[in-house]
Amino acid sequence: MRSTTRRTLTTGIVGGAILALAVPAMASAHVSVTPDALAAGEHGVLTFSFAHGCDGSPTTALTIMMPDGLASVAPTMDSDWTIGIERGADGLVDTVTYTAVAPVPTDLRGAVSMSVGLDESTPATLAFPVIQTCAEGSTEWTQLAEDGEDPHDLESPAPVVTVGAAGEEHAAHTDDTSDESTAADATAPDVLPTVLGASGLVAGVAALVVSVLAFRRRA
Domain map (residue ranges) of the chain: 29-171, 189-219
Average pLDDT over residues 69-86: 96
Q: Which of 78, 76, 74, 55 is nearest to 133 (CA)?
A: 55
Average pLDDT over residues 188-196: 46
Q: Are 41 and 118 within 8 A, CB to CB?
A: yes
Specify the higher pLDDT residue, 172 or 83.
83
Q: Is 149 helix (H, G, I), strand (E, B) or coil?
A: coil
What's residue 121's pLDDT? 86
- What contacts 24+ positions apart, CB below 8 Å, involve 201-204? none
Q: Are 76 and 53 within 8 A, CB to CB?
A: no
Cα 5 to Cα 9, 13, 17: the distances in Å are 6, 12, 18
Quickly state the pLDDT bin for 167 (edges 50, 70, 90).
low
Specify the higher pLDDT residue, 2 or 149.
149
Query: Percent of the chain scored above 90 by pLDDT?
Result: 53
- Residue 210 above 60 pLDDT? no
DSSP 8-state assignment for residue 153: G
Q: For residue 48, with 0-12 CB atoms within 10 Å meaning exposed, 13-18 middle and 19 or more buried, which class applies?
A: buried
Radius of gyration of the chain (CA): 32
What's residue 29's pLDDT? 61
Span 29-171 CATH architecture: Sandwich (2.60)
Quickly state the pLDDT bin for 168 (edges 50, 70, 90).
low
- Residue 117 above 90 pLDDT? yes
Strand partners, 122: none
Average pLDDT over residues 149-166: 89
What's residue 14's pLDDT? 39
- Residue 101 above 90 pLDDT? yes
Kindly tell me the sign of the dihedral angle through the C-alpha atoms of 55, 56, 62, 64. positive
What's residue 151's pLDDT? 77
- Residue 31 above 50 pLDDT? yes
Mention every residue, 6+ apart, whose C-beta is less than 8 A from residue 107: 51
Cα 167 to Cα 36, 116, 163, 176, 198: the distances in Å are 17, 17, 11, 14, 49
What's residue 150's pLDDT? 83
Least confident of 6-10, 27-31, 201-205: 6-10
Report pTM.
0.65
What's residue 5's pLDDT? 41
Mean pLDDT, all residues of the chain: 76
Specify the higher pLDDT residue, 118 or 199.
118
Average pLDDT over residues 202-218: 47
What's residue 148's pLDDT? 79
